[in-house]
Amino acid sequence: MQTQLTQKERSLLEDQKSHEEVCIQKYTSYAEQAHDPDLKRLFSQYASQEQEHYNTVNQFLQGQQAPQAGQQAGASPQSSGQNRGARFGNSAEAGDDAVLCNDMLMTEKYVSGTYDTAVFEASNSDLRQALQHIQREEQQHGEGIFNYMQKNGMYHVK
């Protein structure tokens, strides 16, 4: 089924596609740089989900109907924030991982916010539902990173 997009929807989707590309690149790179194996897995998992987001956005841009929300692989909530404690060789490694986590948390906050705008500007209900689904996953990524950081002494709620 062919999906017709407004000019505004197309523009917002192009922006989201760029954001997803950045997320894929960052998560992939950070998975290689992370010292803690649990963080490596978390970042790798999120990179895969960001690729799914990219594919969904791209399908809409090509006029194709994207899969229904929840039908994408990996659409379930993530429990990877349930880390049992990082295994850092030294505090410098923990500091390096904290920098990666801070950057990704900041990135997820931004990307989630841009999806919020796109959801409100979408006139197509299928597009709106797909964007809401992606936004929920972006928020789950942020929650997973936050939980990882808090459990490993990298984020202190005051």
The predicted model gives 149-153 an average pLDDT of 93
What is the per-residue pLDDT for 68? 55
Mean pLDDT over the full length of the chain? 87
Environment class of 70 (CB within 10 Å of its CB; exposed 0-12, middle 13-18, buried 19+): exposed
Tell me what percent of the residues of the chain surpass a pLDDT of 90. Answer: 73
Q: Give the span between the Cα atoms of 28 and 22, in whole angstroms.
A: 10
Q: What are phi and psi of 64, to 5 degrees?
A: -95, 155
What is the per-residue pLDDT for 90? 60
CATH number of 7-65+91-151: 1.20.1260.10
Which CA distances in Å does 19 have to 25, 35, 48? Answer: 10, 25, 14
Residue extents of the structural domains in the chain: 7-65+91-151
Per-residue pLDDT tens over the stretch 48-57: 999 999 999 9
